Amino acid sequence: MSEEVDYDDLKSRAVSQPLVTHIYTADPSAHVFDGKIYIYPSHDIDAGIPFNDNGDHFGMRDYHVLSMDNVTGETTDHGVALDIDDVPWAERQMWAPDATHKAGKYYFYFPAKTKEGIFKIGVAVGDHPAGPFIPQPEAIKGSYSIDPAVFEDNGSYYLYFGGIWGGQLQKYRNNQYDDRHDLVNDHEQALSPMMARLQDDLLEFDEEPREVLILDEKGNPLLAGDNDRRFFEAAWVHKYNGIYYFSYSTGDTHFICYATGDNPYGPFTYRGRLLNPVIGWTSHHSICEVDGKWYLFYHDSILSKGVTHLRSVKVVEINYLDDGRIETIEPYV
């Protein structure tokens, strides 16, 4: 018999508490716009679908936007910013999103499955950080898989994406889908996250998507069997002291790890773990600077007492070491 989990004890030991409790939220992408923190999470619901490795039980159908004046203040839920019924090309499973802004407009990037059951990435545009967002009639040409994360650097915008298993990344080679493709062998190079620079209007790719290589300490690409370090999903990029940090989830081993490089394209060299496993199967995050300090936005499933697909967004400060490494965060002390 499995050991019963004391969720009240875990809650008391957690380094942070849910930002909202009236709905379930996950996969938070946080940014400071107009002096306020805006958080773009996925909206977890109980769709009544049994757990499986394809993630069908993550049946989300809309997005709410959250905001905070500061990291210790109240969190405002601005309501539905985009619903799947408003997206002509999408049928189901609106998973982890992200957003950016340019020239007074706000751009919201999101994955969803088409009627053919294939994940694509769409973009919707609004006049306010909290939406509402009006989707483009078609998905971004050449987009696929899940977990879009947008990064602005020196006036250029880059979109990172990809996730294996339910995220379908393993079905692609050279940006082409083939259902016969699958996960590679453990001794082979791990499947890489993807990225592409966006066009000036931020609505389409300006180049063919390319792999983002994650290297070990010897300069070799991580292998597929290196489950504690290889990429699974949840790409995020931020820049600190001139160094580019690529962080991500290892999925089935439940770590948030990070690697560093000297440009947005990589390659990135593995540096360590950012967050140790949380309660719940998934781990997905973002990193945002607020008033000169840096924060990790993440989620866990304590509020739902461990229900994998009912998660809650949280935030905790991160600390950089003198050599550029980040201290590993223990979610429960």
Measure the CA angle with vertex 289, ends 284 and 293; round to 5°: 115
Q: Note the helical H segments in the chain.
A: 7-13
Helix or strand or coil: residue 165? Answer: helix
pLDDT in tens, 47-77: 777 777 777 777 799 999 999 999 999 999 9
Token pair 């994406």: residue: 161
Please state, rounded to an integer, the average pLDDT across all residues of the chain.
96
CA distance 167 to 143: 12
Could you tell me the CA-to-CA distances from 272 to 53, 84, 197, 255 in Å, in that order? 26, 37, 27, 10
pTM for the full model?
A: 0.97
In this prediction, residue 1 carries a pLDDT of 34
Q: What residues act catalytically?
A: 27, 233
All structural domains of the chain, each given as residue ranges with its CATH number in brackets, are: 7-317 (2.115.10.20)
Structure tokens at 160: 């990172």
Burial class (CB in 10 A: 0-12, 13-18, 19+), 95: buried
Which pairing describes strands 119-126 and 134-135: parallel, antiparallel, or unpaired?
antiparallel
Note the pLDDT tens digit of each residue in 213-252: 999 999 999 999 999 999 999 999 999 999 999 999 999 9
Contact 320, 294 (CB under 8 A): yes
Q: What is the DSSP pairing of strand 256-261 with strand 243-249?
A: antiparallel
